[in-house]
Amino acid sequence: MANLEGRSVRRSVAWDDGRLRAFEAVYQPHTALAMHEHSAPFFTYVLRGEFVERTGRMDRECARGSVIFHPPCDAHANAVGPRGTMSLNVEISPELWAELAGVSGQVLSGDVEWLAAAVWREFHRDDAAAELGMDEAVALLCASLRSEHQRTASISARRLALSAEYISQHLAPVPRLAEVAQVAGVHPMHLARLFRQRYGYSMGEFVRRRRIAWACGQLASSDEGLAAIALAAGFADQAHFSRTFRRVTGCTPRWYRRHLSDASGVQD
């Protein structure tokens, strides 16, 4: 482990089956980790707060909801932000990483968060199916990285990325299809078809998922009640919010908040 400046809190290894090694880490505000590297490939899922990861080439902004993949010996230094940070870290077996050959370190966001959240849920389960569940969740997450890496930078892909970014920046009020299509430079019907092909769901569902991601940030960083968060996120009521939250994340808002809070006070 790199030398630390400032006080840090770290949970001991909670999962190690010889193939996958996983733990939650909690760092206090402004903690600094000097330049270091890991021999095993791994990914980090940021559960709360944020940090900047510095490499020899660039700085990576790692906010709540981000998933950061690190190939073996990817040298980096971390600077934790003013709110501290909590993350799930999972070392990946060499066999699984071999399937991702050629993929460099990168920060992903968007729907990849829900695949990472599935890994986090399995991490907290303690039953006979947990090992299989963990293997499967990690494999699906890595498969998504490979698909993203292989995706071509076609005109359609760039226009879809532009439309998704525009919708993400305009969640209240939500833009109409014609407006998004004009920004992307395609016919509305063509955009609707391409969007479903790319994401597997509609633009309306994309908005709901982005609002759930915002709500995850509120659950992680505030004591606001669920009803207030539901209304602020644009849901009709708490019941509607809870149903959508569970469908997207696989857990309830209460479970999500409780498991973030449980790790906050863990000391070495």
**One domain, residues 145 and 164:** no
The answer to whether position 108 is within a domain reads yes
pLDDT at 120 over 90: yes
62-74 pLDDT per residue, tens = 999 999 988 888 8
Residues 153, 118, 238, 226, CA torsion sign: negative
3-57 pLDDT per residue, tens = 344 444 444 456 776 678 899 999 999 999 999 888 888 899 999 999 999 987 7
**One domain, residues 15 and 142:** yes
- Which segment of 1-5, 24-28, 207-211, 212-216 scores lowest on mean pLDDT? 1-5
Determine the Cα–Cα distance for residues 47 and 220; give it in Å rounded to an integer: 7
Whether 125 contacts 133, CB under 8 Å = yes
Determine the Cα–Cα distance for residues 181 and 43; give it in Å rounded to an integer: 35
Q: Count the domains in the chain.
A: 2
Strand bridging mode 21-27 / 8-10: antiparallel
Strand bridging mode 67-70 / 42-54: antiparallel
Domain boundary among 115, 150, 185: 150
**One domain, residues 141 and 192:** no
Indicate the pTM of the whole model: 0.83
**One domain, residues 65 and 178:** no
The answer to whether position 268 is within a domain reads no
**One domain, residues 171 and 235:** yes
**One domain, residues 122 and 53:** yes
pLDDT (average), residues 234-238: 93
CATH number, domain containing residue 41: 2.60.120.280
Q: What is the pLDDT of residue 266?
A: 40
Q: What is the pLDDT of residue 147?
A: 63
Q: What is the pLDDT of residue 12?
A: 45
Determine the Cα–Cα distance for residues 117 and 65; give it in Å rounded to an integer: 9
245 lies in which domain range? 155-262
CATH number, domain containing residue 239: 1.10.10.60
**One domain, residues 51 and 145:** yes
Where in the chain does DSSP place strands (E)?
4-5, 8-10, 15-16, 21-27, 32-36, 42-54, 59-62, 67-70, 76-91, 106-108
The answer to whether position 247 is within a domain reads yes
Domain boundary among 150, 175, 210: 150
Domain boundary among 113, 131, 150: 150
Q: What is the pLDDT of residue 150?
A: 54
